[in-house]
Amino acid sequence: MKLTEAEETLMHYLWQAGNAFMRDLLNAYPEPKPATTTVATLLKRMADKGFVGYREYGNSREYYPLVSKEDYFSRQVNGLIKNFFNNSASQFASFFTTQSDLSANELETLRDLIDDELKKKKS
């Protein structure tokens, strides 16, 4: 399941905080800040989707992520590869390296990462 752009923005603030009350999340936004009701609605939808949990303390709720940033990102990238690149990581890598503005240094870093993974998988 995917988050909307507004939900993703809020989720990034929650991942940064770890645990947060509504006021903490509102304070994380730049000006102009969204309305409290908007953030409350987003949190409810995110909880319904299984991305956010909370603990109640009287009338307050402390929110926390149920999905790690790494797991969410991995699912999104894998979905992108499946939906746009015929489930081919090599087609994705080819597109990424030829269509993005990577420097020679960044490409070398990518090559080193791939070489390291190859060594691990061959061991």
User: How does pLDDT run across 93-110, given as a tens digit for each residue?
Assistant: 888 888 888 888 998 898
Rounded distance, CA 90 to CA 78, Å? 12
Quickly state the pLDDT bin for 76 (edges 50, 70, 90).
confident
- What pTM does this model have? 0.76
pLDDT higher than threshold 90 for residue 64: yes
The pair of three-digit structure tokens given for residue 38, joined into one six-digit string: 């908007």
Domains recognised in the chain with CATH numbers: 5-65 (1.10.10.10), 85-122 (no CATH)
Quickly state the pLDDT bin for 59 (edges 50, 70, 90).
very high
User: How does pLDDT run across 6-25, given as a tens digit for each residue?
Assistant: 999 999 999 999 999 999 99
Q: Are 30 and 36 in contact (CB under 8 A)?
A: no
Q: Which of 72, 65, 75, 54 is nearest to 16 (CA)?
A: 65
Q: What is the pLDDT of residue 93?
A: 84
Q: What is the pLDDT of residue 57?
A: 95
DSSP conformation letters of 19-65: SEEHHHHHHHSPSSPPPHHHHHHHHHHHHHTTSEEEEEETTEEEEEE
